[in-house]
Amino acid sequence: MTRLPTIDAVLTAGPIISVATLGDPARAPAIARALARGGVPVIEVTLRTPAALDVIRAIAAEAPEAIVGAGTVLSPADIGKAVEAGAAFIVSPGMTPTLWAAARQCPVPYLPAINTPSELMLGLESGFTAFKFFPSHIGGPQALKSLHGPYPTARFCPTGGITLQNAPEFLLCPNVAVVGGTWLTPDGADDATIERLASEAVAALGPLQRR
């Protein structure tokens, strides 16, 4: 299991975070290893299947080259369960005062999501400087560029609707550190396909990443 001290370490590990909804704990470590071989060590496992926590636990135990986090974290209880399962970081699709309070006590980095200036201001006031921009297709790269002027210290990981084709538009934004995408782990893909998709993404997007 890989632990990282700050969310910046997660955001700079590569140009893309693989966002995956996985339901088979036995298969999950091989998927994570294939991603890592392709240059994508960071995988966000969404808590959208009954087996998601077991998936995180299996990757943390059997794929030490991967940095596995938990996504779709909606409550303090989710945070506790994800950390207990071995999540190296936590991601939520929004922010609430309750989650902020729990995140301050969380032993792993936390990436909350915003999509409006008001949400961003609340997050900055609460001490966060890195955010998931979700859903990214609402506003898109232009919205992120517009946020950079008044909020120059904020950094983002846009997620939701990101593809290999539109990812460069986001990475060229001055405040985007990394993108999150689901296309690296299509249903039924074998290890070779996943590794190839990861390698293609890193080759195309790596030169655009700001570290």
Q: Does domain 7-206 have CATH number 3.20.20.70?
A: yes
What the block records as the tokens of 38 is: 């392709």
Q: Please write the tens of the pLDDT for every residue from 98-133.
A: 998 898 888 999 999 999 999 999 999 988 999 999
Q: Please write the tens of the pLDDT for every residue from 57-92.
A: 999 999 999 999 999 999 999 999 999 999 999 999
Confidence grade of residue 1 (pLDDT, cut at 50, 70, 90): very low
Domain spans in the chain, listed from the N-terminal domain onward: 7-206
CB 86 within 8 A of CB 68: yes
Q: Which residue has the higher pLDDT, 6 or 94?
A: 94
Phi first, then psi: give them for residue 134, nearest 5 degrees: -145, 140
Q: Is pLDDT above 60 for 3?
A: no
Nearest alpha carbon to residue 83 among 55, 104, 53: 53
Please give the pLDDT value at position 4. Answer: 55
Strand order in the sheet with 113-114: 113-114, 130-133, 155-158
Helix, strand, or coil (residue 168) = helix
Return the active site residues: 44, 132
Q: Where are the alpha helices (DSSP H) in 12-51?
A: 28-37
Q: Please write the tens of the pLDDT for every residue from 20-29.
A: 999 999 999 9
